[in-house]
């Protein structure tokens, strides 16, 4: 048994060999929390506790899989396969498959993903004669999700004044009504959405004592990793399950709590100590993951948060290199810098692709990295979230461009003929496809001669309008470049407007992605040289050709040697030898949307702490002077978090410190704009801190000029820089 705990330090050993009674491990990043939890499971099993009686809840399915595998290896047996290990959702779905009939659901209930959920919401909103423009499925879905995670079921809502008042204040008084109908409809369909997996599990345990007893008896030992990110419904479920035996072990780090927007609350850590009086609390203080430099920087920055549980994390690891700050002119250069550096590091230090991770705050930042890695022929994989060009909204937009360039492209045509919705229904499309097949003509030809095929008047009108619009775009093909066409498509199809109107977090991300696509088309048309040497062919056809080559690139790299790209949220619990964190700029990181309150800002800082502590050996933090966002060339200042780093541990030589100031801040707008944005002080300060920006090849257009016209018109003069208020979306549209 000793071999299981070999190499653990004193605190780790105490935690891993604690068998009965509640246990809480609160410790900083890389201190071996997950390792201890894994070891403890093996230790319990080695002490005769049946794997069937152990439940372990992890944050991702991958983590669950790895944990089982590791325990299997430690014990050298197949017993680990009998463990209940998984995410809250997967474990509860499994239990509900056995128990759902108690709640009146079929045990073979369907799980609705968020697309399904939104579709049901749309249906019930319409059935209730409410306006689905006001009660947007996305917004309603997020609200219902929040209610469920706060343990407010549809029936509870009727008695919950606070929740009702919140919705009334938000001018959505019918949320309760929609919530009832939505829940009833899901029930009728025998379906649960993701949040129901938690809510129904709670209902089951609370209202059916025999079921509760059964699972209390089964799960005699319960373990939860990443406890800081559990929400109230998860807290209550595990409390119910653990009530009989109180063998519950939770592991977490309050400094890494980054999911409060999904209802997670650090309160759970504090509450845990109140609920379980004999709790044994273990602190782990030695970090085994990172170099001294990396750890010191992380510790130093997180100290700026108030109200963290005091921790003194240290490491015996090597001092390591300083953390490198990198300043580039643009986001594309940032991507190029990272790709170049990966190539160089591979040559110099014998790293392979899988030693590198590129982390970013939001998915839309992945594009510039993706393109540079592709160009350099470096294999990569984007985790969580689709590759940029696979995203639905990006595909939809590109489908328009494809049809304009080649009307025979039936797949693209089918994709957009009724998107945004213009009253050309499924039956119409099916009929048109049949006609096309019968007459051996293209679908487009059927639509462009629609009058001949007896469609009903309103449908005919919609089809004719669509055809006219596409033909209008086509008139530009001869003398306009790809970007000009794309701008017109954004304007006239209603696609951008529709995305812009959706103010939910997901809606905003979709809008951002389409803007990002348009930015990339603009940049492509403005770039002096093209990849294939065909200088100056900036037509739509040329653009599509190169984009098709990008999308056709090999994407099948299972578990192979690839650079990993993911959001910081997705990197929780993971570690990599070399880490790049991109876009360390004000309004990106911290996010412009998350700096309205101290709580939000502190969550961003925790996210920064998570990002930094993923690195084992080397860490690069990069920021760009300017980047296209929301259709504008914007200048963000370096992130405030960079100011919070201890000077002795950072290397600014990549931040332009040594370069001559050829470009200066001349592209930062007029003196008036600078004063408006407070650049007089901050930019100058930034320049002192980071040195002048590196010399640039071509002068970027002055901020505020050459503004693409696909942005909805702002009310006042455009504020191009992202202000700390994050007010980057004009409010009058
Ligand atoms: P996070 O907060 O990021 O989830 P963590 O506290 O869960 O981190 P682990 O991932 O368990 O930390 O451990 C970090 C690294 O340190 C791992 O590579 C792990 O194998 C190693 N490690 C932990 N404890 C020891 C030890 N006693 N001896 C050697 N290596 C250790
Ligand atoms: Mg961990």
* DSSP letters for 707-722: --TTSPPPSSS---SP
Atom of ligand 1 nearest to the CA of 9: 27
Question: How many CA within 13 A on the CB side of residue 508?
Answer: 11
Partner residues linked to 191 by β-bridges? 110
Residue with the two structure tokens 């051996």: 440
Q: 523 falls in which pLDDT band (50, 70, 90)?
A: confident
**Cα of 30 to ligand 2 centre, how many Å?**
7
For residue 631, the model assigns a pLDDT of 67
- Total Cβ atoms within 10 A of residue 156: 12
| pLDDT bracket for residue 309 (50, 70, 90) | confident
**Distance (Å, rounded) from C-alpha 604 to C-alpha 590?**
5
**pLDDT tens digits for 79-114?**
998 999 988 888 898 898 889 999 999 887 777 767
Q: Is 31 annotated as a binding residue?
A: yes
For residues 138-142, average pLDDT: 93
Which residue from 219, 222, 244 is spatially nearest to 235, judged by alpha carbons? 222
Does the predicted model carry a pTM greater than 0.90? no
Residue 208 and residue 99: Cα distance in Å, rounded? 10
Query: Tokens for 365?
Result: 């930042």
Tell which atom from ligand 1 comes closest to the C-alpha of 36: 11
3-state DSSP of 455-481: CCHHHHHHHHHHHHHHHHHHHCCCCCC
For residues 513, 516, 518, 520, the Cα torsion angle rounded to the nearest 10 degrees is -140
pLDDT value for 673: 33
Q: What is the pLDDT of residue 437?
A: 77
Low-confidence winner among 350-364, 540-554, 603-617 (lowest mean pLDDT)? 540-554
Residue nearest to atom 21 of ligand 1 (CA): 288
Packed helices 598-612 and 292-302: angle between N→C axes, nearest 10 degrees: 180
Q: What is the pLDDT of residue 702?
A: 37
Q: State whether the beta carbon of 252 lies less than 6 angstroms from ligand 1.
A: no
Q: Is 683 helix (H, G, I), strand (E, B) or coil?
A: helix
H or E segment to which residue 111 belongs? strand 110-112
pLDDT category, 680, cuts 50, 70, 90? Answer: very low
Q: What is the pLDDT of residue 718?
A: 28
State if residue 319 touches ligand 1 by the CB under 6 angstroms criterion.
no
**What's the CA gap between 94 and 107, in Å, rounded?**
10
Mind telling me the catalytic residues?
33-34, 225-226, 256, 614
Q: At what angle do helices 482-492 and 457-475 cross, to 10 degrees?
A: 160
Instruction: Name the most confidently modeled range: 405-414, 524-533, 604-613.
Output: 604-613
Q: Is the pLDDT of residue 660 over 60?
A: no
Tell me how far the alpha carbon of residue 51 lies from the centroid of ligand 1, in angstroms. Answer: 23
Give residue 657 CA to ligand 2 midpoint distance, Å: 36
Taking 3-state DSSP, the helix, strand and coil percentages for the chain, each rounded to the nearest 5, stand at 55, 15, 35
Q: Is the CB of 9 under 6 A from ligand 1?
A: yes
Measured CA to CA, the distance from residue 61 to residue 520 in angstroms comes to 34
| 559 torsion bin: left (phi>0), alpha (psi -120 to 50), beta (else) | left
Whether 32 has a binding-site annotation, put simply, is yes
Tokens 């995410």 sit at which residue?
87
The Å distance, Cα 398 to ligand 1 centre, comes to: 44
Task: Identify the three-state secondary structure at position 642.
Answer: helix
């Amino acid at each position: 048994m000793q071999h299981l705990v070999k190499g653990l330090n004193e605190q780790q050993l105490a935690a891993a060999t604690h068998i009965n009674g509640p246990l809480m491990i609160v410790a900083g990043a890389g201190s071996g929390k997950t390792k201890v939890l894994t070891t403890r499971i093996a230790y319990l099993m080695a002490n005769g506790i049946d794997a069937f009686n152990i439940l372990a809840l992890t944050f991702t399915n991958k983590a669950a899989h790895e944990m089982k595998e590791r325990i299997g290896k430690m014990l050298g047996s197949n017993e680990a396969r009998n463990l209940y290990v998984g995410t809250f959702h997967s474990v509860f779905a499994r239990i509900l498959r056995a128990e759902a009939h108690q709640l009146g659901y079929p045990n073979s209930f369907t799980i609705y993903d968020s697309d399904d959920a939104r579709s049901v919401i749309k249906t019930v909103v319409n059935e209730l004669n409410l306006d689905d423009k006001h009660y947007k499925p996305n917004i309603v879905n997020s609200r219902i999700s929040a209610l469920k995670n706060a343990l407010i079921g549809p029936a509870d809502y009727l008695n919950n004044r606070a929740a009702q008042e919140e919705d009334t204040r938000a001018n959505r008084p019918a949320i309760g009504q929609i919530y009832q109908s939505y829940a009833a409809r899901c029930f009728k369909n025998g379906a649960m959405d993701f949040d129901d997996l938690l809510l129904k599990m709670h209902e089951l345990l609370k209202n059916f004592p025999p079921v509760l007893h059964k699972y209390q008896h089964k799960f005699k030992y319960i373990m939860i990793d990443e406890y800081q990110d559990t929400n109230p419904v998860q807290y209550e479920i595990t409390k119910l399950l653990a009530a009989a035996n109180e063998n519950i072990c939770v592991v977490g780090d309050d400094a890494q709590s980054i999911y409060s927007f999904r209802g997670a609350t650090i309160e759970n850590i504090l509450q845990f100590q109140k609920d379980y009086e004999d709790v044994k609390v273990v602190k782990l203080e030695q970090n085994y993951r990172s170099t001294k430099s990396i750890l010191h920087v992380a510790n130093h920055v997180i100290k700026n948060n108030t109200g963290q549980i005091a921790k003194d994390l240290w490491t015996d690891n090597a001092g390591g290199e300083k953390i490198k700050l990198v300043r580039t002119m643009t986001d594309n250069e940032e991507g190029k810098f990272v790709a170049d550096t990966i190539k160089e590091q591979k040559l110099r230090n014998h790293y392979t692709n899988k030693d590198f991770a590129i982390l970013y705050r939001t998915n839309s930042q992945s594009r510039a990295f993706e393109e540079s890695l592709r160009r350099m022929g470096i294999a990569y994989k984007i985790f969580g979230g689709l590759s940029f060009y696979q995203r639905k909204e990006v595909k939809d937009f590109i489908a328009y461009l494809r049809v304009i360039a080649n009307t025979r492209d039936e797949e693209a045509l089918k994709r957009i003929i009724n998107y945004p919705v213009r009253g050309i229904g499924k039956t119409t499309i099916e009929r048109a496809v049949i006609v096309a097949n019968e007459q051996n003509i293209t679908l487009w030809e059927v639509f462009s001669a629609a009058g001949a095929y007896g469609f009903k008047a309103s449908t005919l009108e919609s089809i004719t309008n669509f055809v006219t619009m596409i033909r209008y775009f086509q008139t530009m093909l001869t003398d306009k470049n790809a970007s000009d066409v794309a701008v017109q498509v954004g304007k006239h199809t209603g696609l951008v407007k529709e995305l812009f109107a959706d103010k939910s977090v997901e809606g905003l991300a979709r809008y951002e992605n389409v803007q990002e696509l348009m930015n990339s088309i603009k940049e492509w048309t403005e770039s002096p040289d093209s990849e294939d040497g065909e200088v100056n062919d900036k037509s739509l056809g040329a653009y599509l050709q190169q984009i098709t080559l990008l999308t056709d690139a090999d994407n099948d790299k299972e578990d192979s040697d690839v650079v990993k790209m993911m959001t910081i949220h997705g990197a929780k619990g993971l570690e990599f030898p070399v880490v790049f964190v991109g876009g360390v700029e004000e309004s990106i990181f911290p996010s412009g949307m998350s700096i309205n309150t101290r709580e939000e800002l502190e969550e961003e800082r925790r996210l920064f702490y998570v990002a930094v502590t993923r690195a084992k050996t080397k860490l690069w933090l990069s920021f760009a002077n300017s980047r296209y966002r929301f259709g504008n060339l914007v200048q963000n200042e370096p992130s405030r978090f960079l100011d919070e780093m201890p000077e002795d541990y950072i290397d600014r030589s990549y931040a332009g410190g040594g370069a001559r100031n050829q470009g200066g801040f001349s592209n930062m707008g007029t003196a008036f704009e600078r004063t408006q944005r407070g650049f007089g002080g901050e930019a100058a300060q930034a320049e002192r801190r980071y040195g002048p920006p590196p010399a640039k090849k071509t002068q970027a257009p002055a901020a505020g000029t050459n503004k693409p016209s696909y942005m909805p018109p702002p009310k006042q003069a455009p504020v191009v820089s992202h202000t700390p208020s994050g007010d980057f979306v004009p409010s009058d549209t």
